[in-house]
Amino acid sequence: MKELVSSMKTTAIVEARMTSTRLPGKVLMTAGGKPLLQILLERLSRATHLNTIIVATTVNQADEPIVSLCRELGFPCFRGSEMNVLERVCGAAASMNADIVVEITGDCPLLDHRLIDEAIGTFLARLPATHYVSNSGPEISMPWGFDVQIFAAADLLAINAGNPDEQDREHVSFSFYRPENKEKYNPFFIQYTGELNRPDLRVTLDYRADYELIRAAYEDLAPQNPDFTAIDVIRWLDAHPQLRDAAITCRA
């Protein structure tokens, strides 16, 4: 089993597109002079349990700037359907010959690589009984914006080949935690304690107020320590209640 695990190729797939209805072009908005997608990719690159990282974007002309940025930074990029995200992520996984997929969205530019490594370790330790590990989901315990979902590429390809419904096509990992699939996939949800146990906080990129918060946090934290942690972000949020609360209120 140890030999099998060590031979598995673990790939982070970052879903990103320019045509968000709530905040168009959000993934290439800047903080500290860098596009937010670049910030996310740099933070992901520090994860020790990832073998490769690929961006999954669409075939739309509007997403050419994402492709250009990936080329400039040296990251592979897969282009697929805008509406069928499941098919797009499967294409990205197949293009990288991935065994394990770490699903990431471009909405989470401040994601902490330590949480990714911990989640991958949990997934590997629970094989073969568990087919899906996440720190988000129905019982989320950490701030929104540090989301990680992990599953076997073969399982995802099988879901895509099995006549997936609209929810599956839009929400890539939905089948893994459908109630009727609990016995099949045995999903496991990581629960945090201590300072990370803050489900009241949000650092996802959906609205203008989110961008202002994320930009300010990055520009405060990165000059002191480019490898700042999720806990650093939480402490910064608590020290800046006006920006924190504005971002929370805009989703109410």
pLDDT tens per residue across span 1-33: 344 455 799 999 999 999 988 899 999 999 999
Q: How many CA atoms lie within 13 A of 77 on its CB side?
A: 21
Determine the pLDDT at residue 1.
38
| Residues 146/111, Cβ–Cβ less than 8 Å | yes
Determine the pLDDT at residue 4.
46
Determine the pLDDT at residue 129.
95
**pTM of the prediction?**
0.94
Determine the pLDDT at residue 6.
57
Determine the pLDDT at residue 229.
98
pLDDT tens per residue across span 62-97: 999 999 999 999 999 999 999 999 999 999 999 999
Determine the pLDDT at residue 249.
73
Q: Which residue has the tokens 């499967």?
A: 90
Determine the pLDDT at residue 67.
98
Residue ranges in the chain assigned as alpha helix (H):
2-7, 36-44, 64-73, 85-95, 113-126, 153-161, 166-170, 182-185, 208-221, 230-239, 241-249
Break the chain down into helix, strand, coil percent, rounded to 5.
45, 15, 40
Determine the pLDDT at residue 2.
42
Determine the pLDDT at residue 138.
67
Residue among 79, 104, 93, 105 at smallest CA distance from 153:
93
Q: Kindly state the tokens that stand for 119.
A: 């989640």
| Residues 22/68, Cβ–Cβ less than 8 Å | no
> Domain coordinates of the chain in residue numbers?
2-205
How large is the angle between the packed helices 241-249 and 230-239, nearest 10 degrees?
Answer: 100
Q: What does each of the 252 residues of the chain score in pLDDT, given as a tens digit? A: 344 455 799 999 999 999 988 899 999 999 999 999 999 999 999 999 999 999 999 999 999 999 999 999 999 999 999 999 999 999 999 999 999 999 999 999 999 999 999 999 999 999 999 999 999 876 778 899 999 999 999 999 999 999 899 999 999 999 999 999 999 999 999 999 999 999 989 999 999 999 999 999 999 999 999 999 999 999 999 999 988 888 777 665
Determine the pLDDT at residue 252.
52
Distance between CA 177 and CA 136 in Å, rounded? 11
CATH dotted code for 2-205: 3.90.550.10
